Amino acid sequence: MKILLANPNTSQSVTDRIAQVARAAASPGTALVAVTGSAGVPYIATRADAAVAGRTTLELMAEHAGGCDAAIVAAFGDPGLGGARELLSIPVIGLAEAAMLTACMLGRRFSIVTFSGTLGPWYRECVDYNGLASRLASIRCLDGPFDDIASVQDEKEDLLVDLCARAVDDDQAEVIILGGAPLAGLSARVAGRVPVPLVDGVAAAVRQAETLAALAPRKASVGSFRRPAAKSIVGVSTALKRLFDHTN
């Protein structure tokens, strides 16, 4: 089995962290292809960032999904997920989507804990898009700057654990999602310090991708996720153009 991890931000250090966590979660025999966006922002934190990242997601999927059995939008908030799911014939999974659906199997209400306040509104809209607002206990975000996106989980570990405790005590969260690809791997390190299950979006997405690939669902030919009709497009990569005009 081969799974694509498409990180639509430009931070190779984040992709490296995602790939490390993904390899630890993957089943024996699962090959992972981790790629990073060449255009966009270092980390995605706002709606505008996500709009730019959505195109990058489609470019990465078009260029690298060939020969893969499933693909993952390796950014929490899942920019471009719907479009990629329309265009590709293989299952496409988002980090946030996988984390939330996994959390719903572990408890009734989940909270998302993350490292920046700017992420809150976008994450809430992601919850709404997935129809899970009634299962959301809270979104808890740290305030203040951080030194480096590559090491934010190390810098803010204790503060993030404290936020998890507040989500449990004050919001009655039964499951905690550590939101944001830069926090990949942190849940395993701090699980003993939080009294409810922690969900890592990368690990959840890899396992969900393996499951869907093994089920081998057919590509929809009707409904909103059928492949759109062929259309000409300019100013994009050759690979993405081929997906739009059906020459691939």
Instruction: Write the pLDDT tens digit of every residue in 43-81.
Output: 898 999 999 999 999 999 999 999 999 999 999 999 999
SS3 label, residue 158 = helix
Pairing, β 92-94 against β 110-114: unpaired
In this prediction, residue 203 carries a pLDDT of 97
Quick one: average pLDDT of 152-174?
96
Domains in the chain, CATH or no CATH each:
2-94+204-245 (3.40.50.12500), 97-201 (3.40.50.12500)
Residue 72 is classified by DSSP as E
In this prediction, residue 38 carries a pLDDT of 94
Pairing, β 175-178 against β 110-114: parallel
Quick one: average pLDDT of 198-225?
96
pTM: 0.95
Q: Residue 90 corresponds to which tokens in the numbers above?
A: 């293989």
In this prediction, residue 177 carries a pLDDT of 98
In this prediction, residue 117 carries a pLDDT of 86
Q: Are 36 and 15 in contact (CB under 8 A)?
A: yes
Residue 120: count of CB within 10 angstroms of its CB: 17
Instruction: Write the pLDDT tens digit of every residue in 103-161.
Output: 999 999 999 999 988 899 999 999 999 999 999 999 999 987 888 888 899 899 999 99
In this prediction, residue 237 carries a pLDDT of 94
Residue 61, by phi and psi: left (phi above 0), alpha (psi -120 to 50) or beta? alpha
